[in-house]
């Protein structure tokens, strides 16, 4: 069996705040990455399923575990349709300071896809 080579991509996108919207957004980010022929990973999807993001110690551990993946990544994709979170800024700072030597790029997903996850108008209330 031949195993195809996919670029290993760490996805950075907002999580805290509007968590439901941001989880839906993360799915769009994953799909965008997959459609680019990449194998994406997002620590804020994986670790928030098992660690308590509201517990400062567990949140810190989750962030550190996520940063460990930067050693293996071919690329970090920062998805910025909803701005950048403090965690995203911290990741970018570590990359720019060469703590982790990994390429990065800023991305946005399709505007129609974004509209599909945002409640608009009085009928959404």
pLDDT tens, 58-77?
A: 999 999 999 999 999 999 99
The reported pLDDT for the residue numbered 119 is 64
Could you tell me the domains of the chain? 7-116 (3.40.50)
Q: What ranges make up the beta strands (E) of 13-125?
A: 38-41, 75-79, 103-107
pTM: 0.88
Cα(37)–Cα(96) distance, integer angstroms: 25
> Cβ(11)–Cβ(33) under 8 Å?
yes
- Nearest Cα to Cα of residue 28 among 111, 92, 121, 91: 111
């Amino acid at each position: 069996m031949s195993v195809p080579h996919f670029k290993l991509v760490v996805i950075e996108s907002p999580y805290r705040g509007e968590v439901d919207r941001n989880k839906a957004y993360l799915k769009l980010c994953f799909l965008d990455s997959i459609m680019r022929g990449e194998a994406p990973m997002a620590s804020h999807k994986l670790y928030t399923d098992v660690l308590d993001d509201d517990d400062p110690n567990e949140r810190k551990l989750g962030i550190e575990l996520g940063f460990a993946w930067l050693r293996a990544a071919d690329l970090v994709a920062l998805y910025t349709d909803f701005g950048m979170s403090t965690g995203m800024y911290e990741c970018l700072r570590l990359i720019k300071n060469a703590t982790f030597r990994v390429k990065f790029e800023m991305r946005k997903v399709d505007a129609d896809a974004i509209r599909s996850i945002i409640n608009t108008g009085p009928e959404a209330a």
